[in-house]
């Protein structure tokens, strides 16, 4: 009986830890009035402009709110409360495992009146977490001249990352072997859309990994990557390894038809 209880507790802990790893983003902030006093009970709605997805929250007793687990993309944040003009902040960019702070000051007036603010005026400095590292948005991923169109070659391009000293590939960063802040090259955790994709033998990414003949058996096309982020000094929700967390999010559908194409030019020797 004790053994069963112990196993059940173990799996509950493992399940909780797995749910903690996030590849989505969060919009948070504080709502105040023109005098600087906090506004309690205001409705805050975040709407994805590309998909129409909406998530809502209500400000607490200290005027704060948080809308977590938002798919990456561009959002419009609307705040409304009786006795105040509605506030609308557009072009709020939400990235992988990131937090975007949107503080709102409401003006007294009719709720039907809307005050529009551009998200481009929001602070660009990260003030909510102390996570280090760096990331790449889709435009950078597509435009950068990456050797072999292999995402693992980008991992050494963020602050604190370098090619693994033992040199496990044909060039620095090959097969995901890189060092983050001096950690071992095989001490990193790889996530694809929030799911572990670590090779159980080498502890390297299971995709774009060299097989018996050095040819990757499973390839992740660069065109399928919406955003990639390398996290070091990360939050406890990730855990597992002592190196960095490579958080990759693939593209998802939108309300508009879109696609990509590329062409390779072979240069003669």
Q: Which residue has the higher pLDDT, 37 or 241?
A: 37
Q: Which residue has the higher pLDDT, 115 or 89?
A: 89
DSSP string computed for 205-217: BSSS-B-TTS-BS
* In the predicted structure, residue 12 carries a pLDDT above the cut 50: no
In this prediction, residues 206-221 reach a mean pLDDT of 66
In this prediction, residues 236-254 reach a mean pLDDT of 79
* In the predicted structure, residue 195 carries a pLDDT above the cut 90: no
The residues pairing with 145 across neighbouring beta strands, listed in sequence order, are: none
pLDDT class of 133 with cuts at 50, 70, 90: low
How large a percentage of the chain has pLDDT more than 90?
24
pLDDT value for 159: 81
CA distance 4 to 165: 45
pLDDT, averaged across the chain: 77
Question: 65, 29 in Cβ contact below 8 A?
Answer: yes
Domains in the chain, CATH or no CATH each: 22-121 (2.60.40.10), 132-250 (2.170.130.10)
DSSP string computed for 60-76: -TTSEEEEEEEPSEEEE
Torsion of CA 64, 68, 73, 75, to 10 degrees: -30
Lowest mean pLDDT among 62-66, 90-94, 196-200, 208-212: 208-212
């Amino acid at each position: 009986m004790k053994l069963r209880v112990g196993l059940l507790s173990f799996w509950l802990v493992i399940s909780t830890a797995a749910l903690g790893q996030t590849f989505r983003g969060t919009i948070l902030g504080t709502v105040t009035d023109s005098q600087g006093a906090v506004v309690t009970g205001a409705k805050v709605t975040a709407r994805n402009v590309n998909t129409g997805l909406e998530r809502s929250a209500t400000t607490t007793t200290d005027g704060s709110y948080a809308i977590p687990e938002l798919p990456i993309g561009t959002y419009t944040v609307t705040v409304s409360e009786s006795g105040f003009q509605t506030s609308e902040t557009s072009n709020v960019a939400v990235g992988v495992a990131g937090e975007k702070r949107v503080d709102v000051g409401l003006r007294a007036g009719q709720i039907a009146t809307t005050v529009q603010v551009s998200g481009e005026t929001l602070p660009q400095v990260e003030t909510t977490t102390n996570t280090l590292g760096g990331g790449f948005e889709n435009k950078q991923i597509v435009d950068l001249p990456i050797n072999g169109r292999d995402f693992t070659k980008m991992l050494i391009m963020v602050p604190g990352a370098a090619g693994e000293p033992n040199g496990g590939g044909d060039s620095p960063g090959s097969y995901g072997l890189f060092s983050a802040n001096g950690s071992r090259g095989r001490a990193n955790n790889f996530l694809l859309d929030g799911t572990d994709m670590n090779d159980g033998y080498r502890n390297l990414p299971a995709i774009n990994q060299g097989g018996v003949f050095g040819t990757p058996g499973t390839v992740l096309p660069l065109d399928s990557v919406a955003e990639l982020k390398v996290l070091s000094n990360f939050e406890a929700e990730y855990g597992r390894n002592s190196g960095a967390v490579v958080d990759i999010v693939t593209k998802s559908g939108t309300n508009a038809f879109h696609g990509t194409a590329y062409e390779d030019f072979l240069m003669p020797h």
